[in-house]
Amino acid sequence: MDLFSLQGKVALITGGLGDIGRTLATGFAEAGADLALLDRSLARQAEVEAEVRAAGRRILSLEADVRVKAQVDGAFQEALDRLGRLDIAVNCAGLNVRGPAEDLAEADLETILDVNLKGVFLCGQAAARMMKARGGGKIINIASIGGAVALPSSAAYCGTKGGVVLLTRAWAAEWAPHNIQVNAIGPTYIRTQLNAAFVDRPEIRERILRFTPAGRLGRCEDLVGTAIYLASSASDLVTGQTIFVDGGYTAV
């Protein structure tokens, strides 16, 4: 089981105070990692930090907007300065604005592109520079089933997540000589505070379950095992892959 240990590692998670980010943070802490959590708002800082400290690990919360390079670079540097190293970076920050593609406002389109694609790119750049300097690391991008199949009323979101899937492969090929493994996780619909009103609509839930052989929505906890695997030495020869944690949604 030492293959899956994160003991002595430092992981940085963007969107780290959201439902998925905090769940991954707690899972990483229980596997032995110290945490730096980046988020646009530190409103949930105290409760998330308490969960990580309960596992006996160090935690640092940093306010940063992944769309702004100066903020990204500053936050990554502060994490490195205060925690001493960076072994794992998880690009978890993301959002969706649903609606007919022909009616999507330009401002909403720019926000989706900037957070889901530009933000991932900027954070990957910052992580890779630090990992190259210390001889390797793990980058995990949170993609989506929307990177492989069409989701209703989510054209721009699907476009960005498809971009994340291919960006993962491009980075993997480019950074493999530096011992940096880059992979992605493609979750199905995960019920969170942000999307609960949407996935709880009877017609939406019925459609999701109809396309999901496992017969249920995802939970944040469903992503932890895959994330630990991709963050640990168990996946040292795995790179450029997207693992869909979707109950079979993309298999049918």
Q: Please identify every residue annotated as catalytic.
A: 157
Q: Identify the CA nearest to 181 among candidates 171, 194, 191.
A: 171
Q: Identify the CA nearest to 147 among candidates 238, 36, 245.
A: 245
Distance CA 146, CA 132 (A): 31
Distance CA 173, CA 66 (A): 24
CB 74 within 8 A of CB 123: no
Distance CA 102, CA 80 (A): 43
